[in-house]
Structure 1
Amino acid sequence: MQTRVQPGCVFVSLGVLNALSAVRVPLVHFLIRHMRGDWGRLSDEDWQRNEKANVTGDYLLSSYVLSSGQKIWIQTTGGRSATVVLLPAEDSKLERSLSDTLHGR
């Protein structure tokens, strides 16, 4: 399957690294899914938003659930300069300027 998303620079939180280590799954497994346009567990509405955003170059979000039940998010900026992999609880802890950049504000 071909790559649909160019991730830019990839940043990964310590929380995600610990969660992936606990279930013994490499990060690249989820990055490949995201890059191929498999957005994981999203509502139909969010899935369709990603499909449109992938054409227009807007912000993308993928959500995956690990075997432990822990959820991870992969967010790619509009313009595709960066991708951030984090736990949902860490999203609110992002520096405001990074959060604004991720969400295209």
Structure 2
Amino acid sequence: MLQALNAEHVPLTYLLIRHMRGDWGRLSDEDWQRNERALAAGNYLLSSYILSTGQKIWMHTTCERSATFVMLPSESLRLEPSLSEALLACQ
């Protein structure tokens, strides 16, 4: 993921700031609205940014807002089950 960002000269902090400000990037209207509701309800947040090469970068913030994961879509398939549960599970 960092290799893709570095190749495009896109600082990770740039995307993190967009995510923190509620600019969810390239999401469907349904996912954008889910994020807006999640801000109040305390559910996980998702952003999707597309680099000029067409490469997607995903950001996931946990329900309790304690961590944000940055990954390529292909990397999400390799998450360990406990990490995936922590990312999506809301108490």
Equivalent of residue 35 in structure 2, options 50, 66, 71: 50
| Partner residue in 2 for 1:95 | 80
Letter in 1 for 2:57: I
Query: Within 5 Å, which residues of 2 pair with 1:1-105?
Result: 16-104=1-89
- Measure the CA separation in 2 of the matches of 1:97 and 1:104: 10
Name the SS of the counterpart of 2:40 in structure 1: helix
The alpha-carbon deviation at position 21 of structure 1 amounts to 0.7
Deviations, residues 58-101 of structure 1 (Å, cap 9, x unaligned): 10000000011100000000010110000000001011100111
- Measure the CA separation in 1 of the matches of 2:2 and 2:10: 10
% identical aligned pairs = 66
- Measure the CA separation in 2 of the matches of 1:50 and 1:90: 21
Q: How many residues align?
A: 90
- Measure the CA separation in 1 of the matches of 2:42 and 2:64: 6
Structure 1: tracts of 5 or more residues without a match: 1-15
What's the TM-score once normalised by structure 1's chain length?
0.83
What's the TM-score once normalised by structure 2's chain length?
0.96
CA-based RMSD: 0.8
